[in-house]
Amino acid sequence: MADERLRLGVNIDHVATLRNARGGALPDPVRAALMAQEAGADGITAHLREDRRHIRDDDIWALMEATSVPLNFEMAATDEMQRIALRHKPHAVCIVPEKREERTTEGGLDVAKDERQLADFITPLRDAGCRVSLFVAADRAQIDSAARIGAAVVELHTGAYCDFVAEGETAKASAELGRLREMSAHAHSLGLEVHAGHGLSYDTVQSVAAFPELRELNIGHFLIGEAVFCGLTEAIAEMRRLMDEARA
């Protein structure tokens, strides 16, 4: 399993953030998606938030039409988002928690608490042919619930680990990495496909990419920020190199 190529999904939300900061059409997130695809991304991730702070409805149409790699459509578990996902039928739908006041997604879903509602919510998406993923913390109860309700994938929230590394909290980072590693193996043992993402950078990606059960990483903000200095193609190429090195 460790020699299987780890997929890279590139999140282009924050190209849209730059566009929306001034208005107009530039920079174009679809152009970023095409560049990412050309640079070797295995998929494109886009989060259509309730307040449309970055990705907009017409971006989803354009991304579906322009790209040939799979689209991972991140969304909250709301009726509006379910309707949009069923209209587009993207390759993958990742359900994430969403609070209007947060800058970015702050934690994982509480699947254990909302198990019945989420089971009902994902059923039509699964029936429509979408690969349903749930974004969760490295917590056994959440992963067990995700398996029970029929999700195909769990995406482990790596944000806490990345924050501890950035803050120099070595012991806490090591403990969180251990939890991520243990829960990656646990999710795989339940038949779930395992993904990970949030906050990953050149400094943190290899420790996570080395988990043999992982099949996909979704990385956005860091790559878009790094692209300001070296270009998107170069940023993705370096991330791809580090991921491949970790799996070697």
- Give the active site residue among 14, 47, 157, 195: 47
**C-alpha to C-alpha distance for 161 and 172, rounded to whole angstroms:** 8
- Give the active site residue among 54, 74, 176, 226: 74
Is residue 167 annotated as a catalytic residue, yes or no?
no
**C-alpha to C-alpha distance for 117 and 113, rounded to whole angstroms:** 9
DSSP-H helix ranges across 128-202: 140-148, 159-166, 170-189
3-state secondary structure 34-96: HHHHHHCCCEEEEECCCCCCCCCHHHHHHHHHHCCCCEEEEECCCHHHHHHHHHHCCCEEEEC
The residue among 116, 58, 128, 52 whose CA lies nearest residue 87 is: 128
- Give the active site residue among 14, 186, 195, 198: 198
Is residue 74 annotated as a catalytic residue, yes or no?
yes
Is residue 157 annotated as a catalytic residue, yes or no?
no
Q: Which residues are catalytic?
A: 47, 74, 198
